C-alpha cells in the first residue's frame, strides 16, 4: 500500500535542483536559497517574485483531516506516524518543488516532486513529474505562512485527487533556516 501512496504522492515532486536524493532536513537540501527583494503577491495578479525559493514550509496533518476531503484511506494506509499525524514539508526551487513527509514517524523523506509555474492570473500550477498531472492552486504568502488552496486539476482528474488535496492543500509555516 505504501508504494501506491508514494506513487500518488510522487506525482507531486521531482526536484531538478535537487539532483541527488534528499533525506533528513529539507531546509538543508541543495535548492537555491538566493531570493530577490521583490515582494511576494497573492493570486490577485501575476506574482512579482512568486513563492520564495529555498524556503521549507511545514504543516501537520492529523487523522481528523482525513474526513474532510473524503479520503478513503486510514492513517495507517497513509503511513502516518504512530501518534496519528504526518508532518508534510514543501520546498520550492527554481521552477521545481519537492514534498517531504515523516512516514511512519521516521525522518523526513522525499515523497513527491515536479515542476511549477504561475499562470497569467498568478495561480500556482504544480506538475507531478511521476504522474504527469498538473494541479492549480490559489496561494498566498503572509509573514511566515504559505496558504495553498486547490482550485482544480489541469486536464484529467486523477483518481487520487482527494489524497493529493489532503497532502498539499492547507496552511504551512516557514521552517527555520
Residue 118 predicted with pLDDT over 70: yes
Does residue 14 form part of some domain? yes
Nearest to 31 by CA among 52, 50, 53, 63: 53
Does residue 75 form part of some domain? yes
Does residue 67 form part of some domain? yes
Q: What's the DSSP call for residue 63?
A: G
Does residue 93 form part of some domain? yes
CB 135 within 8 A of CB 154: yes
Q: Give me the domain span that covers residue 23.
A: 2-32+42-174
Does residue 37 form part of some domain? no
pLDDT averaged over every residue in the chain: 75
H or E element in which residue 98 lies: strand 96-101
CB 38 within 8 A of CB 51: no
- Provide the whole-model pTM: 0.72
Tally the domains of the chain: 1
How far is the C-alpha of 10 from the C-alpha of 132, rounded, in Å? 10
Read off the pLDDT of residues 6-25 as tens digits, 9 standing for 90 and up.
333 333 333 333 333 334 55
Amino acid at each position: 500500500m505504501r508504494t501506491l501512496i508514494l506513487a500518488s504522492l510522487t506525482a507531486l515532486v521531482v526536484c531538478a535542483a535537487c539532483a541527488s536524493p534528499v533525506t533528513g532536513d529539507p531546509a538543508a537540501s541543495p535548492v537555491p536559497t538566493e531570493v530577490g527583494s521583490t515582494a511576494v503577491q497573492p493570486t490577485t495578479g501575476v506574482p512579482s517574485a512568486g513563492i520564495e525559493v529555498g524556503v521549507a514550509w511545514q504543516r501537520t496533518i492529523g487523522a481528523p483531516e482525513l474526513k474532510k476531503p473524503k479520503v478513503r484511506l486510514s492513517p495507517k494506509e497513509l503511513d502516518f506516524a504512530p501518534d496519528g499525524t504526518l508532518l508534510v514539508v514543501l520546498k520550492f526551487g527554481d521552477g521545481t518543488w519537492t514534498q517531504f513527509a515523516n512516514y511512519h514517524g521516521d525522518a523526513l523523506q522525499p515523497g513527491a516532486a515536479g515542476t511549477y509555474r504561475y499562470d497569467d492570473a498568478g495561480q500556482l500550477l504544480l506538475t507531478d513529474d511521476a504522474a504527469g498531472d498538473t494541479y492549480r492552486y490559489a496561494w498566498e504568502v503572509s509573514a511566515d505562512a504559505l496558504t495553498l488552496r486547490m482550485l482544480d486539476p489541469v486536464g484529467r482528474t486523477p483518481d487520487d485527487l482527494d489524497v493529493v488535496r489532503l497532502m498539499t492543500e492547507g496552511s504551512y509555516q516557514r521552517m527555520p533556516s
